[in-house]
Structure 1
Amino acid sequence: MNKLELFYGLLIGFAGTLVGSFLFITLLTDYTFIAGIEIMNSQGSLGKLITLGSIPNLIIFAALLKYNKDLIARGVVLALIILTLITVFL
């Protein structure tokens, strides 16, 4: 059961980053989501977009700790570590 909760946290972490990136592009730029990703990729700023998109994971992490869902919170941290490695090597 522990591995399943860790996997749920991993999925929640990736989903939080995706939602954060979507909100950043649609609310703060004049581009659509797909066009914004293409433009950021062509400018070499895709890593910055992933970093800004990870900000909602802080709120998710704090909420999970408040409700004593420690293993799911570990999965969110694992997702952030994986996204950090992807950002470094992009």
Structure 2
Amino acid sequence: MIKKDVIIGIIVGLVANTIGLILAAMLLGGGDDFTAVIKAAISEGFLGKLISLGAILNLIAFFVFIRKRQDYKARGVLLITVILAVCTFIFKIF
């Protein structure tokens, strides 16, 4: 049961981050296509910043799970947020 809740939290965290990434790309992309924004982010070196903006929705999901006292699902969301932070740090270095 505990592993299932953590996995659900990880999936919710990934979905929330993906939706946040798409929203950030659309809002900040100036009306360009999503793939064009991602390609520009890779070439100009701000993909990590877009991923970080996408992680804002993870904050909402985390607090919803905490509010409902679903601590293990919140732990999964927190885990994926930390993994994304490490990935963003790696993008920043390289």
- Shorter-chain-normalised TM-score: which range? over 0.9
Partner of 1:69: 70
Deviation at 1:25, TM superposition (A): 1.2
State the identity %.
Answer: 38
Unaligned runs of 5+ in 2: none
Which letter maps to 2:70?
K
Deviation at 1:29, TM superposition (A): 2.1
Unaligned runs of 5+ in 1: none
Question: What is the rounded CA distance, in whole Å, between the counterparts of 2:63 and 2:6 in structure 1?
Answer: 16
Question: What is the TM-score with the length of structure 1 in the denominator?
Answer: 0.94
Question: What is the TM-score with the length of structure 2 in the denominator?
Answer: 0.90
Partner of 2:40: 39
Give runs of aligned pairs for residues 1-90 of structure 1, distance below 5 A: 1-30=1-30, 31-90=32-91
Deviation at 1:84, TM superposition (A): 0.8
Q: Alignment length, in residue pairs? A: 90
Hey, which bits of structure 1, 4+ residues long, moved more than 4 A? none
Deviation at 1:28, TM superposition (A): 3.1
CA RMSD across the alignment: 0.9
Which letter maps to 2:37?
G
Which letter maps to 2:54?
G
